[in-house]
């Protein structure tokens, strides 16, 4: 959590073929939690999701100074997760965030990006069923937190995933307030 009145800052990466529910739910819930969210694309700012919903990113990864962010979020989806996993800039960014102890979160197939970056070894994690994260201690929970890493399973777990981020970034009270207002089941 940030101290004082400084607003927490989260970077959400959008790659062609991202899972729309995971990305948009996370962005929306974080913003409701009074967290500053910046979306960045890997290439063109207009990014088409896995189910043909296009989102205009705030910026591109190349045009962004990533130093001031408190958390990095990787939505899943295919082929979005593959594009994230195969991008050396993303792999380096994941490594930098984890090394700095900053929250690094991935949902659905995106934990495979964390696997490729080598940051899951021996850590508890989850992912979409069948996605390979062999270095992790796999759990079937909706959301798994281990140190700075938060992982989740699929579009259906997007709300608990986003609320876990709110809890870590601004506190339990705000996460519970949002859960109550949005009628998210326990």
Residues found in the chain: 186
Residue with tokens 């709300």: 159
* Positions marked catalytic: 108
Rounded distance, CA 35 to CA 54, Å?
Answer: 23
- Close Cβ partners of 24 (under 8 Å, ≥ 6 residues apart): 55
Q: Residue by residue, what is the 3-state secondary structure of 141-167?
A: CCEEEECCEEEECCHHHHHHHHHHHHH
Most distant CA pair in the chain, distance = 42
C-alpha 6, offset from chain centre: 21
Rounded distance, CA 64 to CA 66, Å?
Answer: 6
Q: At what angle do helices 172-182 and 20-32 cross, to 10 degrees?
A: 120
């Amino acid at each position: 959590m940030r101290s004082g009145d400084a607003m927490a800052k989260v970077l959400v990466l959008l790659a062609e073929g991202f899972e729309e529910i995971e990305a948009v739910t996370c962005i929306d819930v974080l913003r409701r939690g009074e967290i500053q969210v910046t979306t960045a694309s890997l290439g063109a700012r207009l990014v088409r999701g896995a189910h043909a919903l296009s989102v205009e990113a705030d910026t591109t990864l190349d045009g962004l100074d990533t130093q001031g962010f408190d958390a990095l979020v990787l939505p899943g989806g295919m082929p979005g997760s593959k594009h994230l996993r195969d991008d050396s800039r993303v792999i380096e960014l994941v490594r930098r965030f984890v090394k700095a102890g900053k929250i690094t979160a991935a949902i659905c197939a995106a934990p495979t990006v964390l696997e490729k970056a080598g940051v899951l070894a021996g850590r508890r994690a989850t992912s979409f069923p069948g996605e390979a994260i062999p270095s992790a201690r796999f759990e079937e929970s909706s959301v798994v937190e281990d140190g700075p890493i938060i992982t989740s399973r699929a579009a259906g777990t997007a709300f608990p995933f986003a609320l876990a981020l709110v809890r870590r970034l601004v506190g339990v009270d705000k996460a519970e307030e949002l859960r109550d207002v949005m009628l998210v089941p326990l």
